[in-house]
Amino acid sequence: MNSDPGRDPTKQYHDASVRVRYAETDQMGVVYHANYLIWFEIGRVELMRALGFEYKLMETEDDCYIVVVEASCRYHCSARYDEVIRIRTRIAQAANRMIKYSYELLRDSDGRLLATGSTTHVICGKDGKPKQLPQKYREKFRSLLLEPATRNESA
Amino acid sequence: MNSDPGRDPTKQYHDASVRVRYAETDQMGVVYHANYLIWFEIGRVELMRALGFEYKLMETEDDCYIVVVEASCRYHCSARYDEVIRIRTRIAQAANRMIKYSYELLRDSDGRLLATGSTTHVICGKDGKPKQLPQKYREKFRSLLLEPATRNESA
Amino acid sequence: MNSDPGRDPTKQYHDASVRVRYAETDQMGVVYHANYLIWFEIGRVELMRALGFEYKLMETEDDCYIVVVEASCRYHCSARYDEVIRIRTRIAQAANRMIKYSYELLRDSDGRLLATGSTTHVICGKDGKPKQLPQKYREKFRSLLLEPATRNESA
Amino acid sequence: MNSDPGRDPTKQYHDASVRVRYAETDQMGVVYHANYLIWFEIGRVELMRALGFEYKLMETEDDCYIVVVEASCRYHCSARYDEVIRIRTRIAQAANRMIKYSYELLRDSDGRLLATGSTTHVICGKDGKPKQLPQKYREKFRSLLLEPATRNESA
């Protein structure tokens, strides 16, 4: 976790990495675009792990499912087979019932920006009904927020 | 459903079809091999639908999950983007606690055999414990069996 | 193809349909969100087929690859296993070097809106370099445009 | 690479690991079975990397595509979301035109055997025609063979 809120808020991100699988390529010879959303998911799960908790346990112990309500991605440069991709994840917003992540995908070998994107999520129980994110998680998410001003925001 | 047990047992199959998606290709320019297992699943689900029941309801109404315990596939000829693939599914065995399906994948345009395979399944409840397939399903599966001799088999 | 430009421009869409595969679900019991982008791709390919040409041949005969540069999706209601999903595709923009599609995903059984989204594409050769969409395709795409005003736009 | 041919041939394997992605689960709450074949692919690619070469370069520099002609898997115990899976890969056969790998998938936390499987491959050029594996690769593959007797075998 590269986080040092007091000095450089732009450093408040977490880097995870994946190596491109053959199964993720398509006949254009590059990674099929839908796979980037799967990588985003890895980015936010690993960010949560770096914050000290496992998403898996949010589901099983706290009945909190982080459901995607919006996803978007801009593709700048193709990812290719066997490349190592750095997934840089930030928390863009963290309200009581909503979390927004932003992502940058970078080619690890040279730092080239491949894609940027974001996903917005609401918290639901297993029954699909929206609920508040438990306080213990909210605090952790907000510790990574880029803009302190949004910390008091509620959704 | 092409079934006429009394005359030509080799006809006891069901044909479903899929059109190859771009996402299913890889950088070799052909369908990535793991996708064939997904097509097999479509074959057996559509065979069940043709037999008069929905697998979905087996799960939700009868707490019967058809769990894969073995899968195999032989690849004869590559499937390619946008081709229509015929999934020919047969029931190879149907015991009280086990079902085995066999499959042929055919290129629809010329009937070329692309792959053959089989999957073996046990019946489990949501809790993961093995159970017997309810009688109502067993009868239907056995009606399609290639070899009557195996109808009395139990697992 | 539901197209009747002279009367009701909102009808200028094409409907394709897919049945949700087991492989597309996740442990939340619903379709994993990245699969919606794969369905969008099916929507635009089938729209092209309805317009009278095959995307496959654009690649092989005209060296035209329709590369995704942006994709977004809003998730309104979960798609579930075995449901039939109607993929309603429209052409939102068609310039010389860029095409934008918009999508609605509807549950076929009751017409419930599950998701909306869009994808933006540029035309490239096999070498990855941008190129103009050949005239024969451009005309067809523009015939489906929602807003005639954008027909003269260039990119 | 755990290889010490002179003493314990059963050690001639390579271990790679993956963490289960949410996208890989299905509504049964476990990993969808087709994904195991994708993990096998990771196993053999990492084994090759451990042997000192990259599969990627086999394709681009030597026009050697390792094409799957047979795959099989036995599922012993379900893999679950977020678990770390150890992919243990061995070379079972290495002939001039054919390679066979065998795999064990183990839950990393307790070593529990989740699945076993194998894949058989032939070497083809980009044109799809079978060819011999270049000598430089053959030697490396054979160095890992479990049974020295098969080293002289040709296919």
Closest residue of B to D56, CA-based? Answer: B27
- Residue A148 confidence (pLDDT): 52
pLDDT at B137 over 80: yes
Do residues D85 and D108 touch, judged by C-beta distance below 8 A? yes
- Residue D147 confidence (pLDDT): 56
Do residues A43 and A122 touch, judged by C-beta distance below 8 A? no
Closest residue of D to A22, CA-based? Answer: D41
Residue position matching structure tokens 């070379």:
D91
- pLDDT tier, A63 (very low <50, low <70, confident <90, very high otherwise): very high
In chain B, residues with a C-beta closer than 8 Å to the C-beta of D67 are 28, 75
- pLDDT tier, A7 (very low <50, low <70, confident <90, very high otherwise): very low
pLDDT digits (tens, 9 = 90+) for C96-151: 999 999 999 999 999 999 999 999 999 999 888 999 999 989 889 988 886 554 44
Is the C-alpha dihedral spanning A29, A32, A36, A42 positive or negative? negative
- pLDDT tier, D155 (very low <50, low <70, confident <90, very high otherwise): very low
**CA–CA separation, C17 vs C85, rounded Å?**
5
Question: Any residues with CB less than 8 A from the CB of A127 and at least 6 apart, and which?
Answer: none
Question: What's the mean per-residue pLDDT of chain D?
Answer: 89
- Residue C143 confidence (pLDDT): 86
**CA–CA separation, D122 vs A2, rounded Å?**
45
Closest residue of C to A74, CA-based? Answer: C70
Question: Any residues with CB less than 8 A from the CB of D9 and at least 6 apart, and which?
Answer: D146, D147
pLDDT digits (tens, 9 = 90+) for A73-122: 999 999 999 999 999 999 999 999 999 999 999 999 999 999 999 999 99
- Residue A15 confidence (pLDDT): 97
Distances (CA, A) of B29 to C43, C145, D68, D146: 21, 32, 14, 33
- pLDDT tier, A11 (very low <50, low <70, confident <90, very high otherwise): low
pLDDT greater at residue D24 or residue B1: D24
Do residues A97 and A131 touch, judged by C-beta distance below 8 A? yes
What is the residue-wise DSSP string for B53-109? --HHHHHHHH--EEEEEEEEEEE-S---TT-EEEEEEEEEEE-SSEEEEEEEEEETT
pLDDT at D13 over 80: yes
Class of domain B14-148 (CATH, top level): alpha beta
pTM across the whole model = 0.91
Residue position matching structure tokens 């017997």:
B132
Question: Any residues with CB less than 8 A from the CB of B25 and at least 6 apart, and which?
Answer: A26, A27, B31, B32, B80, B81
- Residue C33 confidence (pLDDT): 98
- Residue C153 confidence (pLDDT): 45
pLDDT greater at residue D130 or residue C1: D130
ipTM of the complex: 0.89
Backbone angles phi, psi at C137, to 5 degrees: -80, -40
Residue-range domain boundaries for chain A = 14-148
Taking the Cβ of residue A77 and every Cβ of chain C, the question of whether any pair is shorter than 8 Å is answered with no
pLDDT at C3 over 70: no
Work out the average pLDDT over B52-78.
96
Which chains does chain B touch, 3 or more C-beta pairs < 8 A? Answer: A, C, D
pLDDT digits (tens, 9 = 90+) for B4-28: 434 444 558 999 999 999 999 999 9
Which residue out of A4, A8, A15, A26 is catalytically annotated? A26
- Residue A149 confidence (pLDDT): 46
Residues 13-72 on D with a CB inside 8 Å of C are 22-23, 25-30, 32, 34
pLDDT digits (tens, 9 = 90+) for D53-70: 999 999 999 999 999 999
- Residue from D35, D41, D66, D68 to probe the interface with B (highest B Cβ count within 10 Å): D68
Name the minimum distance, in Å, from the CA of D56 to any CA of chain A. Answer: 7
- Residue C130 confidence (pLDDT): 94
| Contact across the interface for B67 and D35, Cβ inside 8 Å | no
| Contact across the interface for C34 and A37, Cβ inside 8 Å | yes
**CA–CA separation, D137 vs D155, rounded Å?**
16
Do residues C104 and C113 touch, judged by C-beta distance below 8 A? yes
In chain A, residues with a C-beta closer than 8 Å to the C-beta of D17 are none
Structure tokens belonging to residue D31: 């990993």
- Residue B67 confidence (pLDDT): 96
Structure tokens belonging to residue D38: 């994708």
Question: What's the mean per-residue pLDDT of chain A?
Answer: 89
